[in-house]
Amino acid sequence: MTLEYLKKATLTAQSGASDVHDIVQGILKDIEEGGDAKALEYAAKFDKYDGNVMLTAEEIAAASALVPQKLKEDIQFAHDNVKRFAEAQKATVSDIEYEIVPGLVAGQKAIPVDAAGCYVPGGRYSHIASAIMTVTTAKVAGCNHITVASPPRPDIGIAPAIVYAAHICGADKIMAMGGVQGVAAMTFGLFDLPEANILVGPGNQFVAEAKRILFGRVGIDMIAGPTDSLILADKSADPHIVATDLVSQAEHGYNSPVWLVTDDRALAEDVMNRVPALIEDLPEVNRDNAFAAWRDYAEVILCADREEMAACSDDYAPEHLTVQADDLPWWLDRLSCYGSLFLGEETTVSYGDKASGTNHVLPTSRAASYTGGLSVHKYMKIVTWQQATREGSKRVAEATARISRLEGMEGHARAADVRLAKYFPGENFDLTPHG
**Per annotation, catalytic residue among 127, 251, 319, 360:** 319
In sequence order, the 6+-apart residues with CB closer than 8 A to the CB of 124 are: 253, 285
In sequence order, which ranges of 260-376 are alpha helices (DSSP H)? 265-280, 284-296, 306-316, 328-334, 349-354
* 227 in a known ligand binding site: yes
* 205 in a known ligand binding site: no
Confirm whether 145 is a catalytic residue.
no
Output the CA angle 165-360-206, nearest 5 degrees.
Answer: 85
> Residues 138, 139, 142, 146: is their CA dihedral positive or negative?
positive
* 204 in a known ligand binding site: yes
* 21 in a known ligand binding site: no
* 407 in a known ligand binding site: yes
What distance in Å separates the CA atoms of residue 392 and residue 16, rounded to the nearest whole number?
59
DSSP state of 298: -
User: Rounded to the nearest 5°, which phi and psi values hold at 188?
Assistant: -90, 0
User: Rounded to the nearest 5°, which phi and psi values hold at 426?
Assistant: -90, 0
CB count in 10 Å sphere of residue 362: 28
* 252 in a known ligand binding site: yes
What 78-84 contacts at long range (C-beta under 8 Å, 24+ apart), as own/partner pairs, is 78/129, 78/132, 78/354, 78/355, 79/132, 79/136, 79/165, 79/168, 79/169, 81/355, 81/356, 81/357, 82/132, 82/133, 82/136, 82/137, 82/357, 82/359, 83/136, 83/139, 83/140, 84/357
**Per annotation, catalytic residue among 299, 320, 345, 398:** 320
In sequence order, the 6+-apart residues with CB closer than 8 A to the CB of 335 are: 310, 313, 314, 321, 323, 341
* 324 in a known ligand binding site: no
Confirm whether 320 is a catalytic residue.
yes
* 417 in a known ligand binding site: no
Annotated binding residues for NAD(+), written as ranges, equal: 119, 181, 204
Annotated binding residues for substrate, written as ranges, equal: 227, 249, 252, 320, 353, 407, 412
Which residues are marked as active site? 319-320
Annotated binding residues, written as ranges, equal: 119, 181, 204, 227, 249, 252, 320, 353, 407, 412
